[in-house]
């Protein structure tokens, strides 16, 4: 910031000097050419014996060009191919509507973007079975582990700004951190944390976290946790250890992780409903309550604070409108915030996760390989790369997918412990990628994809890159 201020001061002084020289020159009888077509085109100015021309050519013009380069917007991303006719947004909206009919799932939110445009961002169903309010495009859901993509992106911004390196070591920022094997703590890098390669066994101390043990205590307990491998050499999914990235962000910026994410990501991207933490969701203008199964059906409960303790792993809350902007950014349409080289790094797999190819029917049928990048999973889905993550915490579920080949982004969020909506995502991916399959291949047999319904007209979204953002009160 100091260097930028000094540069602007120098530019102002040179502009003032130019004004003085122009005044003198215009009063003289010997006129010489000033800033003409050559300066505008970037071609070298003709040599002259005038001190004024020399000053302009060597001092003012380079600074003006540098200033213009700084102010110029990043180039727009070229559009991807058109989606196949089989990718029918109205059909997918109708399927989502059926999923909330008769409270099969209490409420849902879904956003679909393509080629930098929001095709759909809307809500379905209700926020709370005990106090039914319609879910709309601005109803906030808990993202659970979809939050990990925000952590990787937050770290990436610091790397992009030169404040951090992917190979920076954890103990350079958290010198007191220890692990059970000598020297292991000193080996862990930023990239290791964000790709679950810290060397621990799966989900270390998650049960303690669910038992309301504070994060700070659990991060110290990692000193006694059994290790699976040397850091950087194997994959094992984490929540507590993953959240060490928050400590690095604090040490790097001097500000809390949640505040840095809000300042550097949520606000610049226009994610105006989004927040972090339990207080964040409970203070939202409208938010979806979590639901668990009871004897008589769905029961709404208050969200637990447990996984909010690990904000980088599971601390973000957002609406369909917010997630549409997140999708636009991660499909490359907000280079002013997330430049293309950074996205390429964030979405590049660093470690294989073969267990993912066997964890559900659609994965077994479609995935050729699976890996983990920096807060994101990366699949080879029917020969196409899909950047993905899922999330689950008491009463909330979610899925997100980016398809670089078709410039497509999809997110689904719901507020009930149900697997019913999970088949909709591979259904949409099959249609987008022209993979032959029945429309109901991954869906509940009771879903009829031919049903349509009329949605209430809604206001246009004022968020960048959006078309009409629609929402509906779900008929029950």
Residue 446 has what pLDDT?
81
**Range 158-176 average pLDDT:** 97
Q: Two tokens at 450? A: 């031919």
pLDDT at 364 over 70: yes
> Residue 348 — very low, low, confident or very high, per pLDDT cuts 50/70/90?
very high
CA distances from 293 to 104, 143, 282, 301, 378 (A): 11, 20, 22, 10, 32
Residue 438 has what pLDDT?
76
pLDDT at 468 over 80: no
Residue 192 has what pLDDT?
98
Instruction: Show Cβ contacts of residue 155 under 8 Å, excluding neighbours closer than 6 positions.
Output: 164, 190, 194, 245, 248, 249, 374
**Range 216-233 average pLDDT:** 97
Q: Where are the domains of the chain?
A: 2-71
Task: Give per-residue pLDDT as tens, 311-336.
Answer: 999 999 999 999 999 999 999 999 99
Q: Phi and psi (nearest 5°) for 29?
A: -90, -15
Residue 449 has what pLDDT?
73
Task: Give per-residue pLDDT as tens, 413-451.
Answer: 999 999 999 999 999 999 999 998 877 789 988 887 776
pLDDT at 29 over 80: no
pLDDT at 50 over 70: no
pLDDT at 36 over 50: no
| First-last CA distance in the chain | 55
pLDDT at 456 over 90: no
pLDDT at 157 over 80: yes
Residue 73 has what pLDDT?
65
Quick one: which H or E segment has residue 298?
strand 297-300
Task: Give per-residue pLDDT as tens, 292-317.
Answer: 999 889 999 999 999 999 999 999 99
Residue 72 has what pLDDT?
63
Residue 34 has what pLDDT?
27
DSSP state of 17: H
Instruction: Show Cβ contacts of residue 278 under 8 Å, excluding neighbours closer than 6 positions.
Output: 303, 305, 308
CA distances from 21 to 12, 15, 35 (A): 14, 10, 13
pLDDT at 7 over 70: no
**Range 40-68 average pLDDT:** 45
pLDDT at 53 over 70: no
pLDDT at 67 over 60: no
> Residue 59 — very low, low, confident or very high, per pLDDT cuts 50/70/90?
low
pLDDT at 462 over 80: no
Q: Report the C-alpha gap between 415 and 10 in whole angstroms.
A: 56
Q: Report the C-alpha gap between 161 and 337 in whole angstroms.
A: 11
> Residue 370 — very low, low, confident or very high, per pLDDT cuts 50/70/90?
very high
Is 235 buried (19+), middle (13-18) or exposed (0-12) by CB count in 10 A?
buried
Please list the residues that pair with 384 across neighbouring strands.
Answer: 381
Q: Report the C-alpha gap between 14 and 44 in whole angstroms.
A: 19
Residue 440 has what pLDDT?
75
pLDDT at 464 over 50: no
What whole-number percentage of the chain has pLDDT above 70?
79
Quick one: which H or E segment has residue 294?
strand 291-294
pLDDT at 358 over 90: yes
Are the CB atoms for 201 and 295 separated by under 8 Å? no
Among 320, 328, 313, smallest CA distance to 392 is for 313
Instruction: Show Cβ contacts of residue 362 under 8 Å, excluding neighbours closer than 6 positions.
Output: 423, 426, 442
Among 467, 363, 470, smallest CA distance to 422 is for 363
Task: Give per-residue pLDDT as tens, 230-248.
Answer: 999 999 999 999 999 999 9
pLDDT at 346 over 90: yes
pLDDT at 17 over 60: no
Residue 71 has what pLDDT?
55
Is the pTM higher than 0.95? The answer reads: no
Q: Torsion over CA of 220, 223, 227 and 233, rounded to 10 degrees?
A: 80
């Amino acid at each position: 910031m100091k260097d930028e201020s000094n540069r602007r001061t120098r530019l102002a002084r040179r502009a003032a000097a130019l004004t003085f020289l122009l005044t003198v020159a215009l009063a003289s009888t010997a006129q010489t050419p000033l800033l003409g077509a050559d300066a505008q085109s970037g071609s070298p100015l003709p040599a002259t014996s005038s001190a004024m021309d020399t000053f302009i050519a060597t001092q003012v013009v380079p600074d003006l060009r540098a200033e213009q380069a700084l102010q110029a917007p990043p180039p727009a991303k070229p559009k991807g191919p058109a989606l196949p006719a089989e990718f029918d947004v109205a059909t997918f909206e109708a399927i989502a509507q059926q999923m909330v009919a008769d409270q099969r799932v209490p409420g849902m939110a879904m956003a679909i973007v393509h080629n930098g445009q929001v095709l759909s961002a809307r809500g379905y169903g209700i926020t709370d079975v005990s106090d039914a309010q319609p879910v709309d495009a601005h109803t906030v859901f808990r993202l659970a582990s979809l939050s990990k993509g925000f952590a990787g992106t937050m770290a990436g911004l610091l790397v992009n700004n030169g404040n951090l390196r992917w190979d920076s070591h954890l103990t350079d920022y958290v010198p007191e951190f220890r692990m059970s094997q000598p020297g292991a703590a000193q080996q862990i890098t930023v990239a290791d944390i964000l790709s679950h390669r810290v060397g621990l066994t799966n989900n270390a101390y998650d049960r303690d976290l669910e038992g309301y043990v504070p994060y700070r205590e659990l991060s110290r307990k990692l000193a006694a946790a059994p290790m699976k491998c040397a850091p950087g050499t194997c994959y094992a999914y984490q929540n507590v250890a993953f959240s060490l990235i928050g400590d690095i962000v604090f040490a790097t910026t001097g500000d809390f992780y949640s505040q840095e994410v809000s300042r550097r990501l949520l606000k610049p991207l226009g994610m105006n409903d989004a927040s972090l933490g339990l207080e964040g969701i409970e203070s939202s203008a409208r938010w979806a309550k979590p639901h668990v199964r009871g004897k008589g059906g769905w029961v709404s409960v208050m969200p637990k604070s447990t996984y909010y303790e690990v904000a980088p792993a599971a601390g973000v809350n957002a609406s369909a409108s917010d997630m549409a902007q997140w999708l636009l950014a991660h499909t490359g349409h907000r280079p002013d915030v997330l430049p293309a080289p950074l996205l390429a790094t964030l979405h590049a797999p660093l470690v294989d996760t073969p267990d993912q190819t066997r964890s559900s029917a659609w994965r077994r049928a479609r995935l050729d390989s699976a890996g983990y990048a920096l807060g994101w999973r990366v699949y080879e889905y029917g020969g196409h790369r899909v950047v993905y993550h899922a999330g689950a915490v008491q009463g909330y579920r979610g899925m997100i997918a980016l398809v670089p080949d078709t410039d497509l982004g999809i997110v689904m969020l719901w507020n009930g412990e149900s697997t019913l909506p999970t088949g909709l995502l591979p259904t949409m991916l099959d249609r987008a990628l022209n993979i032959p399959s029945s429309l109901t291949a991954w869906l509940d047999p009771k879903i009829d994809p031919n049903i349509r319904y009329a949605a209430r007209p809604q206001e246009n979204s004022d968020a960048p890159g959006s078309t009409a953002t629609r929402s509906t009160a779900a008929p029950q």
